[in-house]
Structure 1
Amino acid sequence: MHIVKSPQLSVFEKFGGIRPMAMILGIAPSTVKAWHYSRSIPAWRHDLIMRRAIDTDIALSTDELTRIRDDSRPLKRGRPSEPTSVAA
């Protein structure tokens, strides 16, 4: 698996998103989602994340795990909104 290597991407984007990151790390997506929401990854997980980044050819620094940048694009949430009609 080869993920884009852009320094402008958040750690989550570099892994391809929350679910792909969870799958690569072998942990529950809800755990990664909690990290994403809090913008904080526990220090005891950093070694695992760095090993998996190396294994999957993802350019990542330890600094990116401690200073998590905002996503370069908004996270998609839920279903697309339904068109609403306006009463005349």
Structure 2
Amino acid sequence: MEQNISVFELFGGIRPMARHIGEPPSNVAAWKRVGRIPAEKQPHVLEVGLALNLPITAEHVVFPLGRPDAVDDLSLSLCSPPVACHRSGKAQRKDAA
């Protein structure tokens, strides 16, 4: 599912969202600034959004500014090769590859 609107926009902005979920606007503004809603707050935000009949999904709450592009996800996996240690240590099993 592609998300084109942020959770903050769904609520009508930082202040309306803060008022609806019972959080200080400074907290909600910080969530928007860092691009994440604390895990312990996510269920409440989703519950309130659904109670207000907003078209909100769990994805909106987990990715409040939108899901990162697939290209960005791919580039993370291609950053650098894994590091391998070739020294034999006492904790290593002899049959380990």
Q: TM-score range by the shorter chain?
A: 0.5 to 0.7
CA distance in 2, matches of 1:25, 1:67: 17
Q: Which runs of 5+ in 1 are unaligned?
A: 1-6, 71-88
- Percent of paired sites with the same residue: 33
How many residues align? The count is: 64
TM-score using structure 1 length: 0.67
Aligned to 1:47: 43
Q: Which runs of 5+ in 2 are unaligned?
A: 67-97
Deviation at 1:8, TM superposition (A): 2.0
1:59 aligns with 2:50: no
Q: Over aligned residues, Cα RMSD in angstroms?
A: 1.3
Runs of 4+ aligned structure 1 residues displaced above 6 Å come to: none
TM-score using structure 2 length: 0.61
1:26 aligns with 2:18: no
CA offsets 1:58-82 (integer angstroms, 9 cap, x no match): 1111112222326xxxxxxxxxxxx
Deviation at 1:53, TM superposition (A): 0.6
**Larger radius of gyration, structure 1 or 2?**
2
